[in-house]
Chains A and B, each alone.
Chain A
Amino acid sequence: MKKFIKYGSLWVMIVFYFNGIRAQELFVFSEPASNMPAKSLGIRASNWLMYNNRGNMLNYQFIPELMWGVNKNLMIHLDGFFTNQGGNFHAVGAGTYAKYRIYSADAVNRHFRMAVYGRLSLNNSVIFQQEIDLTRNNTGYALGLIATQLLHRQAISATIGFNQAYNNGSENKFPPGQAEQAMNFSLSTGRLIFPKEYISYKQTNLNLMLELSGQHLIGDNKNFIDLAPAVQFIFNSQTRLDVGYKFQLYSDMQRVAPNGFMIRMEHLLFNVF
C-alpha cells in the first residue's frame, strides 16, 4: 500500500509539473480518446527492444499496424505481431483494435472526450509470464474506456480496460492456475517543447510524454506499475517518430521483459478513402 501512495504522489507531482504548459495527446504507450481524421490511413511500425529477465538476451518485437479513420467517431487498427523469441525472427500472431468516440465537448484549445475500445488478438507464442499482454504475448480480447481532458495547455488521459486471455492456439495452452483475466489502467500526459509558436506545418514538433500504466490480475490479486517517459518528433505535421523507455516501478507478478525501449515510426495519409 505504501508503494501505491508513493507512486500516487509521484503522479500528482508529475501532473502539477506539467500544469501550465502546452500539452499533446498523441501518446506513445496508450491511445487518447480522440480519433484520427475520418477517411485517413495511418501506417505504424513499432519496435520493442526489451531486456529479458531470464538472460542477457534482448527481446525484439516488431508490430506493423494499419490504422483507418472510418468516420469521425470510429477508427480501426489491424496489427501483426513478430518476435525473435527462440532465436529466429518470426510471426506469432495478429490483432484488431477498434475505438469509438462516445462523447465530445470541444472549446477553443480545449476538449473533454471519451471513447470505448475493443481489441481482439490471436497469438501462438509460448506463455511464460503472468502478465497478460494482448499486443505481444496473449490470445484474447480487451474492452475498455478512455477519457482525455485537454485543458488550456495541459492534457491528461486515463484508460481503464478489462482483458481476457485464452490458450495461445492448441499447442501453447494458457498455464493452468494462472489468472486469465486482468484490469489494465494508464494515466498519460504530454508536453510540447518545440515549436514555441506555430507558424507552419513544416515545423518539426518535439513533444515529451510521461505515462504510467499498470495491470491487476483478477483472482491472483497481483499487480505491476510501469513508468514510461518518451520523446516524440512530428515532421511535416504528418510523420511521427517516438522513442520511449518503459520501466517497472513495482511488480509482484512474473514478467519476462518489463524494461526496455520502444521505437516507432508513424505516417498519416490524409483523405485516402
Chain B
Amino acid sequence: MKSLHIYMLVFGLFMQSVASSQIQSVSLQASGLTCSMCSRAIYKSLKKLPSVAKVQEDIAHSSYHIQFKDAQKVSLADLKKAVLDAGFSVAWMEVKANFNNVEVANDSALQLDDFTFFFVDIQKQKLNGERKLLILDKDYLLEKDRKKYAGTYESKTAATDGDRIFHVTLPQS
C-alpha cells in the first residue's frame, strides 16, 4: 500500500503544473454558531494571525474573507486552527488564485506558493483568470460534504503533509 502511495506521489509530481500566480485570498465559513459574540471570537482569532492583513466578515452567514500581507507565509492550517480555537469548526474553505492557461485534471498536482493541490472530481481543463479551489481535506469541510469526495481520492493519493498538501475541487459557481 505504501509503495502505491509513493508511486502515486511520483506520478503526481510528473503531472504537476506550476502556476505562476500566488494565493490571492481565502474565504471560509464557520459552523456551529449563530451569535455575533461567537462570530466576533472567530474574527478576532483570524485577525491576530501574523500573515493576515484584513478580514471581512459576513456575520449573517458566519463567513469570512481573508486577505494576506504576504501570500508566501499563508498557512491554511493556521486559519483552520484559529476557527477551532474560537470554539467552532470550518464548514468550507476556498482558496482564490489567478491562473494563466494552467492545465489540470483529476489527480494532477498544482503547485501554488508552497502548497501542492491535488485535483479531485473535475473535468480535464485549462484554468484561466480568477478561480476558487475548494479544499476537501478533513476539518476543512463539513463531514457530510467531505464524504461525497473522500472515497474518490483517499485511496489514490497520499497527502501526508497536513499543512502543505491538500485535495481540492473546482466549486460550481
| Chain A residues within CB distance 8 Å of chain B | 22-26, 34-40, 69, 71-72, 104, 106-111, 150, 153, 192, 197-201, 203, 205, 234, 237-238, 240, 268, 270-271
Contacts and interface: CB of A to CB of B under 8 A. Distances in A.
Contact of A107 (B41, B84, B87, B91): B91
B34 A22 contact: yes
B37 interface: yes
Nearest to A204: B36
Given A234-B35, A238-B37, 17 more contacts: A37-B87, A38-B85, A38-B86, A39-B85, A72-B84, A72-B85, A104-B89, A106-B88, A109-B33, A110-B31, A150-B32, A198-B36, A268-B37, A268-B41, A270-B41, A271-B45, A271-B48
Given A40-B41, A72-B87, A203 B36 contact: yes
A237 B87 contact: no
A49 B47 CA distance: 40
Interface residues of B, number: 28
Nearest to A190: B35
Interface centre among B29, B44, B89, B144 (most CB of A within 10 A): B44
A108 B91 contact: yes
B31 A108 contact: yes
Contacts of A234: 35-37
B87 to A, nearest CB: 6
A201 B64 CA distance: 13
B71 interface: no
Q: Which label, helix, strand, loop or mixed, suits the secondary structure of the A interface?
A: loop
Nearest to B144: A107
Contact of B40 (A22, A71, A111, A201): A201
Contacts of B60: 197-199
A108 B35 CA distance: 12
Contacts of B59: 198-201
A268 B34 CA distance: 18
30 contacts: A35-B87, A36-B41, A37-B44, A37-B45, A37-B86, A38-B85, A38-B86, A72-B84, A72-B85, A106-B31, A106-B88, A106-B89, A108-B62, A109-B31, A109-B33, A109-B34, A110-B31, A110-B32, A111-B32, A150-B34, A198-B36, A198-B60, A201-B36, A203-B36, A234-B35, A234-B36, A237-B40, A268-B37, A270-B41, A271-B48
Contacts of A237: 36-37, 39-40
A152 B67 CA distance: 30
Nearest to B142: A107
Nearest to A207: B35
B119 interface: no
